[in-house]
Structure 1
């Protein structure tokens, strides 16, 4: 009985989807008149300025269908249009030559047909569901066999709309090239920032200790014959200086690729970060350590994401608890870091101005490192918390 009611509810939802699709078809009928009117005005040259506005109207109508389809399928339908900017001539040229507009016109023509036909088919299927199968019979336990077909009709409508409204391969390729151009620029910027950091660390840390070490060894050599006690003291100081230089060099090496990743793998390295963060951190690897390891670049990016976010949480969140989760999937590695702090993190552009998550170059560097691997970063931080940073990285296991 519960299954029957579920089927009926799903059929009602599908019917509503088909009904709104028929409404979009009616709008497409109106759009036909707009297109014809615009074509006549454009042919007279004087009314050419109407063409870009008509194209924008068509794009809004196609956008409505994209949102309807996404709401039904749960998958967004991307769009790709040429911007209608510049002089009137440039706007008209862009409107006429835009592949996205051409696909919208094809969809509008097809929607005139299948939007109404599928609604009529659903209405026909409701008749046996009501009269032959019967609501009342169905509620008593009899399955209304016609109703699942209505849901399939709604699926068909969504599939047709998605196929027709997806950007053309050429447009998707252009968008991908643009995205890769931005990603490459971010990767170059991230690499430059990393090199400057290494240079600064070497100059201010290891190099300063090595210079002091050289000076003390020189002084010890001069004092060796005349004042062995002083020479011994200088050698002891030189040994301390050498150990400090080694410590600084290890710090620099850890910043390039932490040795703990090589020794323990990502899961073990994350647990070590959690133990040394100063917070009460729960680590859930979700079996991420099982099976083959991720490439070194992916592991390093994931490690630095966790390190940066835990450091920021300890400094800025005002909370003493955090949670780190790792998940692996087909071709993906997913990292989530959550703290129970004050929240209020906001992002603007490529950088971030954050409350709990911290701001400045740390977040920017993390985003660039992830973008260089074609990954994504999502920050959710309502006022009052919690702050959740989710990172998804492509990964060939």
Structure 2
């Protein structure tokens, strides 16, 4: 059951999540910045070799190297905000690549991210590592040789517990600096990528058009699949019950004149069959749009699914206001299908559902500590989940290495 948190606690938790997201963003950006720096060195080396006439064989690799690194950054940024559309294969010839506006923008990003982005990522990662080291310094400084008991950012030798506590206080200050500046630094590191790697305003958006066309086809397929499911449910369940009711009522009518007792018994059976038909019809209706969404909203509905899961499941839900009915229904059915898969196949001991709304983006994360190995491409329930999400122009990321854990991350537009 979801418990309402005090306003101050929600604020503190929200800022803590922002700081942790900033740390993860900076570390991820540091990784792509290292790739960008290596790509810059490769470009410089290839240019120098071409200048002396021995690097001509490397020329054809340059556009591909730039595009591969840029696509990695597009994918990373898309996980943290609005999707950045990929640009597909790079031009095969260097002359065509330099004539391509997108490639020129990627080169500009490569230069900025391979230098400034690398610096910001290194500063952020170093700051938090140094903060952890200094805060814990009183626990292990005595293990160091006396002449080496000096923290890297504090220019004195620690000789007693008082000095060690001073180092720990300095670590707290470093952590406070990161809490204040970490999110700003992460946004600054990501800004060149969002500015330069997004399609230019006048670029041909045929890829985006193709994606929207595919999403429309997925929506139609999902709609047709849902109609077939409803038809099967009505045909196999409710219709059979109603046929039984009509047969029993016919038998009752024929037995009324001959044997009223038999007619009464048949009428009771018809009543029971009608009740069963009504129950199954209600089940079908709930499968179309669960009433719990209207009664308790999405947070209450997901809390109910977690409570009924076959695996102990905790929830962390913070979604102010209501989303569109179709968005809430999609999030509900995705969670229901994912928790069903966890109960049946994962052999997990624990699961967790996290739901957040960031502006016009609804983020749902479902994870478990099971055996892993989930694959969207194997035609399992995950394929149906992806179809539901893509029908709303959302994205699904599944990480499930053998041995676990499995993490399902959904991003769904929820703007009005």
SS of alignment partner, residue 383 of structure 1: coil
Match of 1:183 in 2: 215
Question: d(CA) in 1 for partners of 2:256 and 2:110?
Answer: 99
Q: CA deviation at 1:318?
A: 1.7
Deviations 1:215-237 (A, max 9, x none): 10111111112111111111111
Deviations 1:12-42 (A, max 9, x none): x9x999986873663574598699x99xxxx
Match of 2:283 in 1: 251
SS of alignment partner, residue 169 of structure 1: coil
Match of 2:265 in 1: 233
Greater CA radius of gyration, 1 or 2? 1
Q: Is residue 373–residue 401 contact of structure 2 (8 Å, CA) maintained in 1? A: yes
Question: d(CA) in 2 for partners of 1:158 and 1:272?
Answer: 38
Judged with a 3 Å threshold, the aligned counterparts in structure 2 of structure 1 residues 114 and 300 are, in CA distance, closer, same or farther, namely closer
Query: 2:358 matched to 1:322?
Result: no
Question: d(CA) in 2 for partners of 1:190 and 1:164?
Answer: 35
Question: d(CA) in 1 for partners of 2:322 and 2:387?
Answer: 23
Question: d(CA) in 1 for partners of 2:306 and 2:359?
Answer: 26
SS of alignment partner, residue 319 of structure 1: coil
Query: 2:173 matched to 1:169?
Result: no
Deviations 1:269-300 (A, max 9, x none): 11221222232221221x32xx3211100110
User: Gaps spanning 5+ residues in structure 1: where?
Assistant: 1-12, 39-49, 85-90, 119-137, 142-154, 354-358
Instruction: Give the CA RMSD over aligned residues.
Output: 4.4
Judged with a 3 Å threshold, the aligned counterparts in structure 2 of structure 1 residues 252 and 382 are, in CA distance, closer, same or farther, namely same
Match of 1:130 in 2: none
Number of residues of Structure 1 aligned to a counterpart in Structure 2: 315
Judged with a 3 Å threshold, the aligned counterparts in structure 2 of structure 1 residues 184 and 100 are, in CA distance, closer, same or farther, namely farther
1:43-54 equivalences in 2 (<5 Å): none
Match of 1:60 in 2: 64
User: Gaps spanning 5+ residues in structure 2: where?
Assistant: 1-29, 117-152, 157-186
Q: Is residue 24–residue 65 contact of structure 1 (8 Å, CA) maintained in 2? A: no
Q: TM-score of the superposition, structure 1-length normalised?
A: 0.65
Q: CA deviation at 1:369?
A: 0.7
1:237-316 equivalences in 2 (<5 Å): 237-285=269-317, 287-288=318-319, 291-316=320-345
Question: d(CA) in 2 for partners of 1:28 and 1:159?
Answer: 28
Q: TM-score of the superposition, structure 2-length normalised?
A: 0.63
Judged with a 3 Å threshold, the aligned counterparts in structure 2 of structure 1 residues 164 and 224 are, in CA distance, closer, same or farther, namely closer
